[in-house]
Amino acid sequence: MPTNSAPLATPETGAPTDKDTLTPVPEPRAAAAPVNEHRFDIDLMRLICSCAVILGHVAGAFILAVDREEENGPSAYWAGHIADGLNQFAVPMFFAMAGWAVLMGAPPRDSARMWQRIIRNGLPLYVWTAAYLAWAWLRDTNDQPMTELGVDAIFGSVRPAYHLWFLYAYIPIIMALAFIVLIRSGQRPWGLGAALLVVATLPHILATVSEFTDWSAPTVGWGFGTYSVVYAVIGAMLFALPGGLSRRGRWLMVPLMVVSGIGVVYWDTQVHYVIPNAHPFVAILTFSLLMLVSRVRVPERWRPRLTKLAGAAMGAYMVHVFFVEELVKRWVDADGGPLVSGVMLLAMFAMTAVLSYGVSLLWGKLGLRRWLG
């Protein structure tokens, strides 16, 4: 009998069968997505977002150098605002990647695994907060006593560790998403639920304590807003799309990014600085970049180096403010022309990024990633 003939169906069941044996033939299935697939495009996005944060803080130094006023140095003012407008996708994109990791990419198997993730983010948060406070104490630039700032830092970010505010929102949102994932898988993560309850009620707990003790309670930074949840869940959905855009579709994202970036700069300079993360201009910029990069093929020869740099991204994020405060802010020239301001900004960004990634890679080799990120 020809082996390529079509299967018949049995009269009883109607299921397809082999002509010779009359045994059921399984229905064809779509190819399953690889389990624990390593997403090099996500590595690339982490690197892009980390560098964007560094660019934003370097740009902020230019804006502060002219006291946020154009007449104090128009070239530095516009160089700073244009560069700052280019980085506004970074924080929303970090939420998007967090959503993808918890919901799609690497969902926690149990509460213990989730607590490991929480510690992996929380321990460097407090180590670096202590480092920044000690650094400011040595320079005599703290605006409050160290003890007060240390207590305040338990509940929210403090200067000079101002950039760490993000982790006070990032950690609760991955906790909440993981809690839902674990509940859906049939588990009962009581400890995680109790921690979320504390986060939700912490402002009112402190207010109650203050009422009875006259203690001036610190501002609570733990928690997340609606916008961060939306970025996380939509980002998870878009990152999980199996095919990504075609080459033509990716190019269509570029004009959307340009238009939304112009909108961000307009808002920052003409309406209010800084534009909210929940603004439509920021959302369009974020999701356009996401679709541009998602599922892009990274050449194999670049993958080891990219993964290594992506692993150092959190550490670079943690340390870069040292270099912004000690180097960039000292060297900004508010009186330079357009060419001088543009070249200086790019040079200072490159310097800060190289130094930040350099020291992060160094302590990674020394086995300090757990403590320093």
- Output Rg (C-alpha) for the chain, integer angstroms: 25
Please name the amino acid found at residue 258.
V
Residues near 300 by beta carbon (within 8 Å), at least 6 away in sequence: none
Please report, to the nearest 10 degrees, the dihedral formed by the alpha carbons of residues 270, 275, 278, 282 taken in order: 80
DSSP β-bridge partners for residue 9: 16
CB 47 within 8 A of CB 313: yes
Amino acid letter, residue 28 = P
Report how far residue 136's alpha carbon sits from residue 160's, in angstroms, rounded to the nearest whole number: 7
Specify whether the CB–CB gap between 168 and 203 falls below 8 A. no
Eight-class DSSP state of 199: H
N- to C-terminal Cα distance for the chain?
A: 65
- State how far the Cα of 222 lies from the Cα of 243, in Å rounded to an integer: 36
pTM of the model: 0.88
Among candidate residues 108, 237, 92, 94, the one with its CA nearest the CA of residue 177 = 108
pLDDT in tens, 283-330: 999 999 999 999 999 999 999 999 999 999 999 999 999 999 999 999
Go through the chain and tell me how many residues it has: 373
Q: Where are the alpha helices (DSSP H) in 214-337?
A: 226-239, 247-266, 280-293, 303-311, 313-323, 329-331
Please name the helix (run of DSSP H) or strand (run of DSSP E) that holds residue 16, with its range, or none: strand 16-17
The CA distance from 158 to 164, in Å, is 8
Q: Does residue 258 carry a pLDDT above 70? A: yes
b/e sequence 295-304, b meaning 16+ C-beta within 10 Å: beeeeeeeee
pLDDT score recorded for residue 15: 44
Token digits for 287?
Answer: 């999701």
The dihedrals phi and psi of 66, each to the nearest 5 degrees, come to: -110, 15
Locate tokens 């160089």: which residue? 79
For residues 181 and 103, the answer to whether their CB atoms sit within 8 Å is yes
Query: What span, in angstroms and rounded, lies between the C-alpha atoms of 205 and 273?
Result: 33
User: Could you tell me the CA-to-CA distances from 265 to 254, 261, 269, 270 in Å, in that order?
Assistant: 17, 6, 6, 8
pLDDT given at position 18: 41
- Alpha-carbon span 361 to 363, nearest angstrom: 6
What is residue 143's predicted lDDT score, i.e. its pLDDT? 81
The DSSP result for 301-330, as a single string, is GGHHHHHHHHHTHHHHHHHHHHHIIIIIHH
Question: What tens digit of pLDDT does each residue of 195-235 get?
Answer: 999 999 999 999 999 999 988 889 999 999 999 999 999 99
Residue 32 one-letter amino acid: A
Q: Report pLDDT digits (tens) over 118-173.
A: 999 999 999 999 999 999 999 888 888 998 999 999 999 999 999 999 999 999 99
* Average pLDDT for the chain: 90
